[in-house]
Amino acid sequence: MRDIHNVPRDNTAFVDFLSSFDLRSILWPGLDATVQKLIDESDTAAHYGSGSLGHLIATPAFVALMINASVNAVEDRLPPGFVTVGRSLEITHEAPTCLGMVLRVKSTLKQIKGDRLFFEIVASDDYSEVGCGTHERAVVQKDRLFRRAEERLNRI
């Protein structure tokens, strides 16, 4: 097995390296994290421009907590220089959560395929489950990600 702390810098060698490294040596199904937040004005639909929904949590704030829980489930186990980036997210927002309520979101790592991580997410407030979803993230080398972003920016 390859040592993830000795990562090559050039793109071809990096792709070869990542294909031979097994993330399951540092991550495993069942890792989880829970985040909770007291819903305040900055989380409401009114704040996000959906004034007709007023004091209810906005879907973008709901999704941000789901992503945060997923990141928290694995980020402390990644070697220096590595991060995860979101690839896909599918959610169901089943019940309203109001200003002043506490929203708890638990994300559990369910599967690892190559550099891809698959999470199941459950959200609940003071009264019941209010949503759920699945989320896919990819493990990437942070420097390489920012180099690619800079290359894209320089094309403009």
Residue 12 within any structural domain of the chain:
no
Instruction: Tell me the per-residue pLDDT of 82-106, one tens digit each, with 9 for 90 and over.
Output: 999 999 999 999 999 999 999 999 9
Q: What is the pLDDT of residue 19?
A: 56
Dihedral sign for Cα 118, 129, 49, 35, please.
negative
The answer to whether the annotation marks 137 as part of a ligand binding site is yes
Q: What is the pLDDT of residue 38?
A: 98
30: left (phi over 0), alpha (psi -120 to 50) or beta: left
pTM of the model: 0.85
Q: Quickly list H helices, 7-76.
A: 11-20, 59-74
What CATH number corresponds to the domain at position 38? 3.10.129.10
Q: What is the pLDDT of residue 50?
A: 85
Q: What is the mean pLDDT of residues 64-84?
A: 96
- The total number of structural domains that make up the chain: 1
Residue 147 within any structural domain of the chain:
yes
Average pLDDT, the chain: 89
